Amino acid sequence: MEKGLGVCVTINRSKVVIVGAGLVGSSTAFSLITQGVCDEVMIIDINKNKAHGEVMDLCHCVEYLNRNVKVTEGDYKDCEDADIVVITAGAPPKVGQTRLDTLELSAKIAKAIVEPIMSSGFRGHFIVVSNPVDVIAHYVYKLSGLPKNQVIGTGTAMDSARLKYFIGDLMHIDPRSVQAYTMGEHGDSQMCPWSLVTVGGKRFIDILEDNREFDEVNLDELVRRVTRVGFDILEVKGTTCYGIATTVSGIIKAILNDENKIIPVSTLLEGEFGEKDVFCGVPVILNRSGVQDIVEVHMTVEELEKFKKSIGVIRDYTNKIEI
């Protein structure tokens, strides 16, 4: 053997599998590829033609990107060496439906997906996007038997990005300079702990008090806008995809790059905020172990009450599926 060639170097390739090649799944793949987040993106869909078409189209991006991300189509057995499996299979709510109305279908699909993925030997992280996301993430956690830190629902991550955008837009400030999130259900009952929202280190409620131009701002209305805007988009274009795709990429980056980034996602509460056995949106520290820790923020009595009310909604629906 020639000198130098006998050294065995292990280079790990990062692989993300996306189940569901619909608008959310394909946009997520596009976001991951264009940002060069991982080495390989694999797409699986019950509609093999759809998966095949998306893969062919996405492969042709490579020439003009910074990185040669491999794009493949696959089957559940190929999840064995995946770091992350993203579940986007399901159907968006129809006009007039809530996300909770899609529970039965999403639960059925989740069951059909998770079992063969676990049989493949997969031991990575699940990121659940399908709605109602808090309930389905809980279901995936139970079905998979994986540790709780490895099953993550996108929760209120997208809603929080929307809230930051609305506050930034109102104040003519970059949304990334706004510290804000919503918590609880990714749905109508989510709430915002306004006492914790800051812009450039100043409490948002103080900013409103100090500036007469914001006299008309109604905090409940801002949260209402966050919960409704997904449906406004749905009404005009049938679904939302770019915001959620970028959100999922952000979560994946935090995990693969071991960032310790704080993002509000849906995770299992086990005593935090005096609640247990429920998945809901709370700020967490995300790194290569998944949910490293929950940030147990201090809310006002009124905020805590709203948060617990939202948890009650998730719990009612969680009890509707046999877990």
- Give catalytic residue positions: 186
Least Å distance, CB 245 to ligand NAD, is 9
Q: Tokens in use for 259? A: 């960032």
String marking each residue 60-99 x if it binds ligand NAD according to CB under 6 A: ----------------------------xxxxx------x
Least separation in angstroms between residue 208's CB and ligand NAD is 28
Write each residue from 213 to 252 as x if it is in contact with ligand NAD (CB under 6 A), else as -, in one continuous string: --------------------------xx---x--------
Report phi then psi at 28, rounded to 5. Answer: -65, -45
Which residues are within 8 A (CB) of 294 and not within 5 positions of it... i.e. 6 or more apart?
A: 267, 269, 272, 282, 283, 284
Helix (H, G, I), strand (E, B) or coil at 257: coil
Q: For residues 98 and 179, which CB has a smaller minimum distance to ligand NAD in the complex?
A: 98
The residues with which 242 forms a beta bridge, in sequence order, are none
Nearer to ligand NAD, 24 or 167 (CB): 24
Which residue, 90 or 171, has its beta carbon nearer to ligand NAD? Answer: 90
Q: Of 193 and 230, which has the nearer Cβ to ligand NAD?
A: 230
Residue 52's CB: how many other CB atoms inside 10 A? Answer: 14
**Contacting residues for 4 by C-beta, under 8 A, at least 6 apart:** none
- What minimum distance in Å lies between the beta carbon of 83 and ligand NAD? 20
160 touching ligand NAD, by CB under 6 A: no
Buried b / exposed e over 130-159, threshold 16 CB at 10 Å, is: bbbbbbbbbbbbebbebeebbbbbbbbbbb
Tell how strand 198-199 and strand 202-203 pair up.
Answer: antiparallel
If the CB atoms of residues 200 and 238 are measured against ligand NAD, the closer one turns out to be 238
Residue 132: CB minimum distance to ligand NAD, A: 8
Judged by CB under 6 A, the chain residues 20 through 39 that form the site for ligand NAD are 20-25
Q: How many residues bind ligand NAD (CB under 6 A)?
A: 32
Does residue 87 contact residue 128 with C-beta atoms inside 8 Å?
yes
CB closest to ligand NAD, residue no: 22
Q: Which is nearer to ligand NAD, 111 or 253 (CB)?
A: 111
Question: Strand runs (DSSP E) across 136-294, as ranges?
Answer: 151-153, 178-179, 198-199, 202-203, 261-270, 276-287, 290-294
What distances in angstroms separate CA 318 from CA 103, 135, 309, one per listed residue?
Answer: 9, 5, 14
Nearest distance from C-beta of residue 120 to ligand NAD, angstroms: 14
Enter the DSSP assignment of 79: G
Q: Which residues from 101-130 bind ligand NAD, rule CB under 6 A? A: 102, 106, 109, 112-113, 129-130
Which residues form the interface with ligand NAD (CB under 6 A)? 19-25, 45-47, 50, 88-92, 99, 102, 106, 109, 112-113, 129-131, 133, 154, 158, 186, 239-240, 244
